[in-house]
A and B are shown apart, each in its own frame.
Chain A
């Protein structure tokens, strides 16, 4: 039975990993990354290292996930007034 569980876990992990890399939508990648952290933590439990799993859940999914959500929000608020990104250089430096 755990064989089926492990195959599902590995399949899901690979799917999420590809989803978080192979995508031009930034926000989707971030959500995929957070979920990747959660499932990597489950995988660490299955591999028998609960300490690594705890660190992965807290740092990988939690702290990094929140930072990345913050970054996406900042990118968006930057991007709105300057649609092309070329004219903005002078005003950013000055």
Chain B
């Protein structure tokens, strides 16, 4: 089971590295923000998997923080910084 968890963590990390391409390319600020939202979800999954792997069960609380932060950043972006990159 440990190996399966490690492979899953590596795959998620790989997809994240793939997503950074979208921040580099743009073209608009919205596209860049989408990658940040993607990493919110991937961050939750990664934290849960690492928590199971290392036996640190407090990491489930951290996954909750990640989940809430994704929404917070999206709202801050839409309300405050919309169109800042045009």
Q: Do chains A and B touch in the complex (CB under 8 A)?
A: yes
Count the A residues whose beta carbon is within 8 Å of the partner chain — how many?
A: 43
Known: A2-B6, A66-B76, A69-B73. A53 touches B23 (CB 8 A): no
Q: Check if A89 is an interface residue, CB within 8 A of chain B.
A: no
B17 nearest CB neighbor, chain A only: A12
Q: Is the CB of B23 within 8 A of A31?
A: yes
Q: Is the CB of B65 within 8 A of A34?
A: no
Chain B: interface size category: 35 or more
Residue contacts A-B, CB under 8 angstroms, 27 given = A1-B7, A8-B13, A12-B16, A12-B17, A15-B17, A27-B84, A28-B23, A28-B26, A31-B32, A34-B36, A34-B73, A35-B23, A41-B43, A41-B47, A42-B43, A42-B50, A45-B47, A45-B59, A50-B56, A50-B62, A53-B59, A57-B43, A62-B72, A62-B73, A69-B77, A72-B81, A74-B80
Residues of B whose CB lies within 8 Å of any CB of A are: 3, 6-7, 9-10, 13-14, 16-17, 20, 23-24, 26, 29, 32-33, 35-36, 39-40, 43, 46-47, 50-51, 54, 56, 58-59, 61-62, 65-66, 69, 72-73, 76-77, 80-85
